[in-house]
Structure 1
């Protein structure tokens, strides 16, 4: 008889298996730790009673007070204006910042690019509701604070996606235009811009779609729009009015998604 030892196939090497075990152990330990912290600050009596509270509030929200809808047209129009003007302002600022942040178009790797990346990170790290809260404290309540809050939030989102698209352009096309003796501005206009334009348009429309949703809650901190009506109705426990506001917001979001999809298919 031939003594043959059959090798047992394994997907991972012993070192890789050990690394995976350590990673899973750390993940489980972290999850247990987070659950322990959350459990300390959670009042489970209210959690257990939540279904009863939800059922009670739901019964008060029905039937909706449809007559309240006539008071929502102007706040709803303000919300759309906040999203649209804020997106337009944010996109206008984000476009040049994206060129400053991209490695292949920035005029300075040591000064301009770090500043542009800092602006992008600052914009993306702060939610539009926090921007609105800060701006209302500085400028007072109103639509202007909401518009600027949406713009400040949009800058980082649009800039990041656009500058990544700039860094992925076909350098052969850019080099061909540069070889003709074109200036840097002409290279950007004819070599880079046509390649990133679909991404820029799609990103801008997508951001406007997101801003429609975010604008609906800015009124909770005094930045105008339909969120102000939502806060008023909830503060006086007018739940049938809250239902009408929810329906109005849902309809607006669905319509904005349809418009955004149609615009993307038409322009891209």
Structure 2
């Protein structure tokens, strides 16, 4: 720690003069940035609506309660579509993510110079765009419906699954691979008997974890026309049917909680 000498005594200081000036300069810069951003936000905000928000929320709560329980008979098919979107999208993503992961891992890629950068680009590109944006693009290409939702979930999940899987591949025990290679096994045999058995627990955990995430994401894809219960929510919001909206939100909550419970049980059984 910096020490200041004065009259044959040493006085402890937490920071030197240069470190203290740098510390305070960083604080002043951060404060200035915060004030500037707050000013920009304030100019773009209608504060009257912000102050009136509690009254509006209370009015909507009054209109939305009690939920319209008889409407639940019309939510069976949307819930089933939502489950299909999440499940089929996850399965399709895994089919595409596995080869991408093997091409991205340093110890399994056929070419670190050409193929690995392409695989990493696929991982980054699919992870960087939200599922709702993918759904909007796919609806413009193939039209609205459940199929667009399945593809949106699948594309969004490729990067997530492939990234975690290729990291698991790079962390395998190489001694097992070397032992199988020493027997004269081919490249595919080494992969099948030396690599795949080591990453199967990670693969199963990643699959269930991503399915759990996709359950939640698929509930809102209907807001842009990609099918599922979100489509019913959007229709109810458009006609201001607040009792139906509250019921749909409750159903979504229960649906997500059940999906989380199933995911936790499956992960516990695997691990």
Q: Secondary structure at the match of 2:110?
A: coil
Cα distance in 1 for partners of 2:170, 2:11 equals 47
Cα distance in 2 for partners of 1:16, 1:190 equals 56
Say if 1:33 and 1:248 are closer, same or farther in 2 by CA, change over 3 A. Answer: same
Q: Secondary structure at the match of 2:12?
A: coil
Cα distance in 2 for partners of 1:147, 1:223 equals 8
Residue number in structure 2 paired with 1:122: 125
Residue number in structure 2 paired with 1:94: 97
Tell me the TM-score normalised to structure 2 length.
0.91
CA shift at 1:170, angstroms? 2.4
Cα distance in 1 for partners of 2:20, 2:205 equals 43
Which blocks of at least 5 consecutive residues in structure 2 are unaligned? 1-6
Q: Secondary structure at the match of 2:240?
A: coil
Q: Does 1:213 align with 2:212?
A: no
1:124-153, Cα deviation, whole Å (9 max, x unpaired): 111001111111111111110000000000
Cα distance in 2 for partners of 1:208, 1:147 equals 12
1:74-96, Cα deviation, whole Å (9 max, x unpaired): 11100000100001001110111
Cα distance in 2 for partners of 1:126, 1:53 equals 33
Residue number in structure 2 paired with 1:8: 12
Q: Secondary structure at the match of 1:6?
A: strand
CA shift at 1:210, angstroms? 0.8
What RMSD in Å do the two structures reach over aligned CA positions?
Answer: 1.8
Q: Does 1:48 align with 2:57?
A: no
Q: Does 1:76 align with 2:79?
A: yes
Q: Count how many residue pairs are aligned between Structure 1 and Structure 2.
A: 265
CA shift at 1:201, angstroms? 1.2
Tell me the TM-score normalised to structure 1 length.
0.92
Q: Secondary structure at the match of 1:103?
A: coil
Q: Does 1:202 align with 2:208?
A: no
Residue number in structure 1 paired with 2:236: 233
Say if 1:32 and 1:163 are closer, same or farther in 2 by CA, change over 3 A. Answer: farther
Q: Secondary structure at the match of 2:41?
A: helix
Cα distance in 2 for partners of 1:155, 1:116 equals 11
Cα distance in 2 for partners of 1:23, 1:105 equals 45
Q: Does 1:145 align with 2:137?
A: no
